[in-house]
Structure 1
């Protein structure tokens, strides 16, 4: 029955995250407590800690970078190692871009940029994405001598994602995130030449 148990666990985690999102948007992040989230989700404070370590973690469950970060390794491992690492990262991020394009992600992104503390947490999450991407690349290209190359490719890819997200947030035409990613990766390719 592990499948049923995991499904219930994921449903509870999603219910807690949804309750947190609603409260953060209604009351503000700073005034929402763990007890508020637990009560809104219909769980005890103790149960909350089984699923999340802090209300920051609830916020990151909704934040787009957090969602992308958790999906990134598996998506990268679907790429072929018969291409350059940066090309593979580009394809991987383009495949995941639509996961970020939700009203909830936009709202959480705005909230994450609303205070220096939350903005720093957002930056930390994005740095973690570089590590996840590098680790997945190291599985595809296991030669230890390529580790620095892979890390640089991951840093460039996540940096490109950050630029694309900045443009996407402020784009009045509401173009898809993938369009912004393509444009910034194209600009990076022009700077680097063939890769």
Structure 2
């Protein structure tokens, strides 16, 4: 007689949960891009994802949460990317190199459409501004993990603030330019401006 393994069953349930969450999020993003955020209903997302409205609310509180989850995933990737960088660079260059590597994995066509979706909704724009606070904290924590000495805390906080500021400017420039160039090009330019700000003429 076969005996169920609790750990195996738990692993399968968690994998199924992640797969369902990912399917709902991907379906929602696709509908936002094709039909517009305001025109996309919860019912449409649930139907396209093959789930009930009740199941949707088990995973997300609102359709806005789909965008927030997507942004939260990027914040987690930023933290991991900073930690993965070698420690022989300055904190600012460490973050710059991590962001450039992440940017190289993003497709401009899809990203620019998602950016337009976010900018079309005041609620999403407000949430988008709030994400930068979370990104700053994530970068600060990653830098503290790489340079754990307490004496570095203040300088690392400043590094997190200015690098996220540079990221925001790069994203705005990329969006205003309708994504004509890869995001990494705007990042390089913004960080070059940042570096030049602290150099004497």
Asked whether the two chains share a fold, i.e. TM above 0.5, the reply is yes
Shorter-chain TM-score range: 0.7 to 0.9
* Whole-angstrom distance in 2 between the partners of 1:72 and 1:50: 27
1:30: how far off? 2.9
Q: 1:98 aligns with which of 95, 101, 104?
A: 104
- The residue number in structure 1 matching 2:144 is 138
* Whole-angstrom distance in 1 between the partners of 2:46 and 2:131: 24
* Whole-angstrom distance in 2 between the partners of 1:102 and 1:177: 7
Work out whether 1:88 is the aligned partner of 2:79.
Answer: no
Work out whether 1:157 is the aligned partner of 2:125.
Answer: no
Larger-Rg structure: 2
Using a 3 Å threshold, how does the CA distance of structure 1 residues 73 and 192 change in structure 2: closer, same or farther? same
- On the 8 A contact 2:174/2:180 being kept in 1, the answer is yes
1:35: how far off? 3.3
* Whole-angstrom distance in 2 between the partners of 1:161 and 1:173: 15
Using a 3 Å threshold, how does the CA distance of structure 1 residues 172 and 29 change in structure 2: closer, same or farther? closer
* Whole-angstrom distance in 1 between the partners of 2:199 and 2:74: 28
- The residue number in structure 2 matching 1:53 is 61
Work out whether 1:44 is the aligned partner of 2:55.
Answer: no
1:27: how far off? 3.9
- The residue number in structure 2 matching 1:23 is 31
Q: Which runs of 5 or more residues in structure 2 are unaligned? A: 1-7
1:42: how far off? 1.0
1:173: how far off? 7.8
- On the 8 A contact 1:130/1:158 being kept in 2, the answer is yes
Work out whether 1:32 is the aligned partner of 2:53.
Answer: no
- On the 8 A contact 1:38/1:48 being kept in 2, the answer is yes
Indicate the larger mover: 47-56 or 12-21: 47-56
Secondary structure, counterpart of 1:100 in structure 2:
coil
1:15: how far off? 1.4
- The residue number in structure 1 matching 2:120 is 114
Q: CA RMSD in A?
A: 2.4
CA-to-aligned-CA distance 1:148-190 (integer Å, 9 cap, x gap): 2112111111111111112222336822111111111111111
